[in-house]
């Protein structure tokens, strides 16, 4: 599996500074954000748009949805030796935030 450059500590810090609504997860190997919508229909519409973004960027979220809540975790499976944060995750977080 091709390896993708993992973010270093400084890059990770600036990612969080640029995206304050996201938090580190999985011991720094992922970022996570929870979204609360008005109802399931709104949540599903958001997820549909994220899905199109993910396919366009070839970078797919790990997510959970129950009714109007959506939790998205971003990590790069191909980063480093066993997955981690890459520039792809930052790009995807910015694109997802742009949908709101």
**Residue of 5, 60, 65, 68 that binds ligand HBI (CB under 6 A):** 60
Question: Using the rule CB under 6 A, is 78 a contact of ligand HBI?
Answer: yes
Per-position x/- string for 19-58, each x denoting binding to ligand HBI as judged by CB under 6 A, each - no binding:
---------------------------------------x
Name residues whose C-beta falls within 8 Å of residue 17's C-beta, 6 or more positions apart in sequence. Answer: none
Question: Residues 32, 60, 93, 78: is their CA dihedral positive or negative?
Answer: positive
| Residue among 17, 9, 28 at smallest CA distance from 94 | 17
Residues near ligand HBI (CB under 6 A) are 58-60, 75-78
């Amino acid at each position: 599996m091709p390896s993708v450059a993992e973010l270093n500590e400084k890059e990770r810090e600036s990612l969080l500074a640029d995206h304050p609504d996201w938090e580190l997860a999985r011991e720094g190997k992922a970022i996570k954000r929870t979204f609360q919508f008005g109802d399931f229909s709104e949540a599903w519409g958001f997820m549909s748009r994220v899905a199109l973004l993910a396919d366009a960027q070839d970078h797919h979220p790990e997510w959970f949805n129950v009714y109007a809540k959506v939790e998205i975790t971003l990590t790069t499976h191909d980063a480093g030796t066993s997955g981690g944060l890459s520039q792809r995750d930052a790009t995807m977080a910015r694109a997802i935030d742009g949908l709101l």
